[in-house]
Structure 1
Amino acid sequence: MSKKIENTIDFSMILASSVHDMKNSVGMLLASLEGLMDEMPPVNAAQNKRFSTLHYEASRMNGELIQLLSLYRMQNNLLPVHIDEHYLIDILDDQVARNHMLAETKGVEMNIQCDPDLHWYFDHDLIGSVVHNILVNCVRYTQSKIEISAKIEDEILCVSIADNGPGYPPEMLQRPTGKVEDAEISKGATHLGLYFAQKIAECHKQQEKRGYIELTNGACLGGGVFKLYLP
């Protein structure tokens, strides 16, 4: 008499582990690329374009892997959220510095408008990831400028990232923010970054209020405007 032993495998855990390994590898490649660009700066427009493309794609891939891993942890109640008091200028300066080389190779100017004394309560790492991902996306679509600002609106913190690109398409502005459509997934357009931003915003709450994101066009630079609201 023989017994059939079935081994059940949690593929979601395997995928999460693989994503974690890939994230680390891409992070190392990105750091190596930045080191190479420092040691051997591009000498002509063609080289600059190649470096720019490599840096953008590596940054985008690294950001999306971090988002996938964070969403998996969130779904399984494994994502740590550490709400503490932080100065906004510090987190904005950090993310601009993090994306300085990417913006420089693309010829994009990034400016910050923020009161140096403005502080708020939020998870520094999670909000930093949201700002980073939006900046990477803005560098791709803007013509030449990105403006990052932070201020208090009706007792809620508003972090705004605007560019002078073509703006968000009408269908994105009409759809509920952060919602992922099956039809768009089939076309390869998941808008994962916006979904991630919405979920991270919702992790920040005070009494009955929860954080949220908003997309508009126009404003100071005439292009797309991403806004993150935290209670």
Structure 2
Amino acid sequence: MSEHRQPAAADRKIDNPDFSMVIASAVHDMKNSLGMLLSTLDDLREEQKGALGDNPRFNTLQYEAERVHSDLVQLLGIYRLGEQKLSAHSDEHYVAEFLQQQLARHERLLQGYGVDYDIDADNDVIGFFDDELISGVIASTLNNAIRYTRSRLQLGAREQDGWLVITVEDDGSGYPAHMREAGAELLKAPDFSSGSTSLGLYFASAIAHLHQNNGKHGTIRLHNEGKLGGGVFEIWLP
């Protein structure tokens, strides 16, 4: 009686992986590695203040690492949005304290570039939002502002008509007209074939939209009518 030969390992069919999941896993690992790199750069800057405090090449290294880290956070978030695995889990936060934490993450880089910064928010302003998601938006916006500002940044928060409005302002040349007028276009998926994806704005708009209350969804707005004379990014949360 003939025996059935068990297939050798090389003969066995290997299932094709879910490529999007593979990419998401790789992005997650890269994001964590860059987070460790950024922490090490902060430590190194602190240890070598005299040599690295205002070294332009070191500032560029840290800035670009921050920018790539933010891009990876956004890509991972967009993947989770597409898989319907991302939602906002809102808690109560003292907004001025939250903004202080966001600035603290970028403090050494801001000092390295010689950029002044402050916060314009009353200590009693309270907001209900997902701090991890909004932190990702603020980090990306701060990175962009550092690139375009001349010498000053300001984070702010206010309550207006039942909304919490968080702002990032700079004293650069401001947002161009096509960005200010984009409006609902910001909620459309990025066009990777055009060469200009506006990935950060799409991510910010999508994260804002996840925050809802009494039928109202969060949104973002861009304008050049702030106190510093440059661009103003606003995220409106219901």
Q: TM-score, normalising length from structure 1?
A: 0.91
Aligned to 2:93: 86
Give the secondary-structure state (helix, strand or coil) at the position aligned to 1:99.
Answer: helix
Deviation of 1:189 after TM superposition, in Å, equals 2.6
Aligned to 2:147: 140
- Aligned partner of 2:124 among 105, 117, 120: 117
Deviation of 1:127 after TM superposition, in Å, equals 0.9
Higher deviation after alignment, 14-23 or 30-39 = 30-39
Unaligned runs of 5+ in 1: none
Aligned to 1:9: 17
Alpha-carbon RMSD:
2.1
Give the secondary-structure state (helix, strand or coil) at the position aligned to 2:16.
Answer: coil
**Residues 1:230 and 2:233 aligned together:** no
CA distance in 1, matches of 2:181, 2:50: 42
Give the secondary-structure state (helix, strand or coil) at the position aligned to 1:223.
Answer: coil
> Any residues of structure 2 matched to 1:100-111 within 5 Å, and which?
100-111=107-118
Output one character per residue of 1:4-57: Cα deviation in whole Å (capped at 9) or x when no partner.
957232100000000011111111111111111111125489x61111100100
Structure number with larger C-alpha Rg: 2
Q: Answer whether contact 1:180 1:191 (CA < 8 A) is retained.
A: no
Aligned to 1:61: 68
Give the secondary-structure state (helix, strand or coil) at the position aligned to 1:214.
Answer: strand
Output one character per residue of 1:110-145: Cα deviation in whole Å (capped at 9) or x when no partner.
110111011021111111111111111101110001
Aligned to 1:20: 28
Unaligned runs of 5+ in 2: 1-6
**Residues 1:76 and 2:83 aligned together:** yes
**Residues 1:164 and 2:171 aligned together:** yes
CA distance in 1, matches of 2:14, 2:169: 54
Aligned to 2:213: 206
Deviation of 1:62 after TM superposition, in Å, equals 0.6
Deviation of 1:86 after TM superposition, in Å, equals 0.9
CA distance in 2, matches of 1:80, 1:228: 17
Q: TM-score, normalising length from structure 2?
A: 0.89
Output one character per residue of 1:54-89: Cα deviation in whole Å (capped at 9) or x when no partner.
010000001110111111112212225311111101
Q: Answer whether contact 2:190 2:199 (CA < 8 A) is retained.
A: no
Counterpart code for 2:118? N
Runs of 4+, deviation exceeding 4 Å: 2-6
CA gap of 1:163–1:180, structure 2 versus 1, over 3 A, is farther
Percent identical residues = 43
Give the secondary-structure state (helix, strand or coil) at the position aligned to 2:92.
Answer: strand
CA gap of 1:187–1:52, structure 2 versus 1, over 3 A, is farther
CA distance in 1, matches of 2:94, 2:50: 36
CA gap of 1:13–1:126, structure 2 versus 1, over 3 A, is same
Aligned length: 228
**Residues 1:30 and 2:10 aligned together:** no
